[in-house]
């Protein structure tokens, strides 16, 4: 598949990329519900997180602890190679799953780098302005994880939530979803807007760290996942971030006397801890000041209901 079109909606913090170079085989295999991760028994799924120091985790979203109700979803998070865990889950057929995950991770890394420079380049940012990107600007030390999400059909979708409203703690999140709708993003003045699944299209969510890096010029997107009465929704998210201990702060080229830095430096490791503690107040907790033009920070969602309605 070749590059075809690119659409960006900066006011939403969400982008779409059509006809990527990513293999459709990788997506179809990862999301194939027959015989794959989500069709396993619960004990088998739980076994995936039983290995000490494991890089393959199963469970509900970590933000679930901030809400009184359980979310109608489950997921696997994969850090690096899933080989050790896949051998236990599928002793006779682990190589295909591992090959696909590794192919997907490789192609997503290439795509994430290109997307980063497309967006930074639009702000007149060069390789010399982002030291941690490396001399070649290839973000060689960047970290990432793959999140497999399952939202089963729900008999009472109006009383449940697949995933409550949140922003991502990443630079970028690249999302592939099957043909069942469910993703919604919040737009000021319009409320919740559905992002329908389009064949051969990826959704790119801007995360909190890119929001900080761009000094708020690229706002992170508040989004949630709804559930369907009759259809099972599946998605794969590529969570892309900087090296864990590199301090992320507004780029110096984007800062001057009339545009002061809005956020203090923070590492991804520190910010993940802050998000785990403060959740939707995390970005506000590292903010230094409000814009001098008196406008409210475009990512200040404190007035947005993030629970169930």
Residues known to be catalytic:
233
Asked whether 213 and 248 are in contact (CB, 8 A), the reply is: yes
Q: What DSSP string runs through 50-102?
A: -STT-SEEEES-GGGGGSSS--S-EEEEE-S--HHHHHHH-TTS-HHHHHHHH
Q: What DSSP string runs through 114-181?
A: HHHHHHHHHTT--GGG-GGGTTTT--TT-EEEEEEEEE---S-GGG--SEEEE--SSSEEEEEE-SS-
Q: Please state, in angstroms and rounded to a whole number, the distance separating the CA atoms of residues 210 and 116.
A: 9
Phi, psi of 12 (to 5 degrees): -95, -25
Q: In angstroms, what CA-CA distances link 183 with 7, 111, 174, 194?
A: 17, 21, 13, 6
Which residues, including other chains, have CB under 8 Å from residue 169's CB and lie 6 or more apart?
A: 207, 208, 209, 241, 268, 271, 272, 275, 282
Asked whether 172 and 205 are in contact (CB, 8 A), the reply is: yes
> In the structure encoding, which two tokens stand for residue 66, read together?
């901030």
Q: Please state, in angstroms and rounded to a whole number, the distance separating the CA atoms of residues 43 and 277.
A: 30
Asked whether 144 and 221 are in contact (CB, 8 A), the reply is: no
> In the structure encoding, which two tokens stand for residue 303, read together?
């007035």
DSSP structure class, residue 233:
E
DSSP structure class, residue 230:
S
């Amino acid at each position: 598949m070749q590059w075809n079109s690119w659409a960006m909606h900066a006011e939403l913090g969400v982008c779409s990329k059509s006809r990527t170079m990513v293999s459709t085989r990788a997506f179809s295999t990862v999301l194939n519900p027959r015989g794959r991760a989500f069709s396993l028994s619960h004990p088998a799924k739980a076994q995936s997180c039983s290995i000490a120091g494991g890089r393959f985790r199963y469970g509900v979203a970590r933000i679930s602890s901030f809400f009184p109700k359980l979310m109608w979803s489950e997921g696997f998070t994969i850090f690096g190679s899933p080989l050790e865990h896949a051998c236990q889950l599928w002793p006779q057929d682990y190589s295909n799953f591992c090959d696909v995950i590794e192919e997907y991770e490789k192609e997503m890394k290439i795509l994430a780098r290109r997307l980063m420079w497309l967006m930074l380049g639009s702000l007149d940012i060069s390789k010399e302005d982002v030291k941690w990107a490396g001399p070649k600007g290839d973000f060689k030390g960047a970290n990432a994880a793959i999140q497999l999400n399952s939202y089963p059909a729900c008999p009472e979708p109006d009383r449940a939530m697949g995933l409550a409203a949140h922003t991502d703690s990443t630079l970028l999140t690249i999302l592939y979803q099957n043909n069942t709708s469910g993703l919604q993003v919040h737009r000021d003045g319009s409320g919740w807007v559905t992002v329908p699944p389009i064949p051969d299209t990826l959704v790119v969510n801007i995360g909190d760290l890119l929001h900080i890096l761009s000094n708020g010029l690229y706002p992170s997107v508040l989004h949630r996942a709804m559930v369907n009465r009759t259809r099972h929704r599946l998605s794969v998210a590529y969570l892309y971030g900087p090296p864990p201990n590199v301090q992320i702060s507004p780029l110096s080229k984007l800062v001057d006397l009339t545009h002061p830095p809005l956020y203090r430096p923070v590492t991804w490791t520190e910010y993940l801890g802050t998000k785990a503690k403060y959740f939707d107040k995390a970005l506000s907790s590292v903010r230094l000041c409000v814009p001098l033009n008196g406008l409210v920070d475009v990512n200040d969602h404190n007035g947005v209901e993030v629970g169930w309605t």
